[in-house]
Amino acid sequence: MSGTPATFEGPVLSTRGLSVLAKKKAILDHIDLDFAPRSLTAVIGPSGCGKTTFVRTLNRMVELTPGLSVEGSVLYLGQNIYDRGVNPVLVRRRIGMVFQRPTVFPMSVFENAAFGLRLIHADEDEIDREVTEGLRRAGLWDEVKDDLNRPALSLSGGQQQRLCIARALAVRPRVLLLDEPTSALDPMATQRVEATMQRLKEDFVLILVTHNVGQAARVSDRVAFLHTGKLIEVGATAEILERPRDPLTEQFITGRFA
């Protein structure tokens, strides 16, 4: 299961001419982007630029919002996830997601982390193993290992968010989408989640949406800047943040508009 198939040499995930329309108004406008293995790409841009919509197209979560239509393609290991016959449920098991606010379920810590595995009826041994592994990778294991049966809602906000990461990781996805995962967290918790992200990019493709340029600078290898639904520029983090080519990018990262 791990490692891309030997025959496949390209990016894990790429978008080609990806547009999202709401009643003919383009929320996203012909985005072409590639995501290589073991990378963390930060998608930045002002509020309303379409960055959240963008990551939601990458695992077909966008379909849960009525009234939006998607054009173009999203290729996962070369196959278009919007092709007829592709099951969005399977897409979401390969391309996991973490949301702005922690979204733990009203059950125990263990059951939260095991949620995705229970959906595919994994056996108990595998569940035990993957839950432990997921919690370790999310950097939460040491804090919860003594009492995995406590209610997840009793955890702090930062712990809950790392639990959500563990839950997403337990089904062994290849890609993890993070939609402003620290926007509801205090600075300490933010720091821990950022450390977690940095460790995770060794094994997964991470795509991080953030409005925080500082966070993009701290954790990402590559930055994509979106503005009014268009991809303005993309490149190595240091490159973009220090020498932006486009005046819009420069205005955004120097804080002249938000």
Q: Per CB under 8 A, does 198 bind another protein? A: no
Distance CA 245, CA 239 (A): 9
| Interacting residue with another protein among 72, 96, 139, 244 (CB under 8 A) | 96
Q: Per CB under 8 A, does 86 bind another protein? A: no
Distance CA 219, CA 198 (A): 6
The token pair at 166 is 């563990």
Nearer to another protein, 36 or 107 (CB): 107
Give least dist CB 92 to another protein, A.
5
Starting at the earlier edge strand, list the strands of the sheet with 205-209.
95-98, 175-179, 205-209, 39-44, 222-227, 230-236
| Interacting residue with another protein among 93, 136, 172, 218 (CB under 8 A) | 93
- Helix (H) or strand (E) segment spanning residue 237: helix 237-242
Nearer to another protein, 116 or 158 (CB): 116
Q: Please list every residue from 132 through 171 that binds another protein, using CB under 8 A.
A: 151, 153-154, 164, 167-168, 171
Q: Per CB under 8 A, does 238 bind another protein? A: no
Nearer to another protein, 96 or 158 (CB): 96
| Interacting residue with another protein among 73, 100, 198, 251 (CB under 8 A) | 100
Nearer to another protein, 61 or 189 (CB): 61
With beta carbons less than 8 A apart as the criterion, state whether 228 and 234 touch.
no
Q: Per CB under 8 A, does 172 bind another protein? A: no
Distance CA 257, CA 19 (A): 25
Give least dist CB 63 to another protein, A.
9
Distances 60 to 68, 150, 174 between C-alpha atoms, Å: 11, 33, 15
Please report the DSSP string for 34-85 in residue order: EE-SSEEEEEE-STTSSHHHHHHHHTTGGGGSTTEEEEEEEEETTEETTSTT
Q: Please list every residue from 8 through 67 that binds another protein, using CB under 8 A.
A: 59, 61, 64, 66
| Interacting residue with another protein among 51, 92, 211, 227 (CB under 8 A) | 92
Q: Per CB under 8 A, does 89 bind another protein? A: yes
Helices (H), 71-230: 88-94, 109-119, 124-137, 141-144, 157-169, 187-200, 213-219
Give least dist CB 198 to another protein, A.
22
User: Which residues of this chain interact with another protein, rule CB under 8 A?
Assistant: 59, 61, 64, 66, 89-90, 92-93, 96-97, 99-101, 103, 105-107, 115-116, 118-120, 151, 153-154, 164, 167-168, 171
